[in-house]
Amino acid sequence: MVRKMRHFLFQGEGYQRSRWGIVASRQWNMIDCVCGCANLFTMDEMPSVFKNINELADHDVQISYLRGCTELVMHENFVNSRGRNIFCYKVRLLIRTTIVCQKFFLGSHGIKQSRLREKVICYLK
């Protein structure tokens, strides 16, 4: 049963849990960001980005794909010894790779910001 639930979870499909009810499937979200990243793609290309990550078989493979799409561009140091990292997010299609904002990157891959921070960005620093 656990293997079946993991399979559905990694494929982005919904499934029935015995104790807590139904777990909804992961969905592709149309994002209207201020910078206009949605205008860089046609309506036919948008769902293919979401399908690419769901077709990957394993959670570790999905995380490595997301790490490959995320790049540390710059680290700024401030006077009070605190710093800030600036990342570049890329959406890969069959023909091209396009740089997009974080909000569009999260929505097009159907992931949450917590997964991006905990699994992807923490290893890029």
* Of 13, 6, 43, nearest in space to 27 by CA: 13
Q: Is residue 59 part of a domain?
A: yes
Tell which wins on pLDDT, 61 or 7.
61
Q: Residue 100 pairs with which residues in a beta bridge?
A: 89
> Using an 8 Å Cβ cutoff, are 84 and 75 in contact?
yes
The domain tally of the chain equals 1
For residues 81 and 122, the model is more confident at 122
Report d(CA 30, CA 82) in Å as an integer.
35
Task: Tell me the C-alpha distance between 55 and 57, whole Å.
Answer: 6
The pTM (predicted TM-score) of the whole model is: 0.73
Flag whether 3 is in a domain. Answer: no
Residue 70 in domain:
yes
Residue 78 within a domain? yes
pLDDT higher than 70, residue 11: no
Q: Is residue 67 part of a domain?
A: yes
Q: Is 74 within the bounds of a domain?
A: yes
Residue 18 lies in a domain: no
Its domain, for residue 108, covers: 28-124
Six token digits for residue 71:
């790049």
Question: Per-residue pLDDT averaged across 70-81, rounded?
Answer: 80
Q: How far apart are CA 21 and CA 15, in angstroms?
A: 9
pLDDT tens-place string over residues 35-72: 888 888 887 787 777 777 777 767 788 888 888 899 98
In a domain, 14, yes or no: no
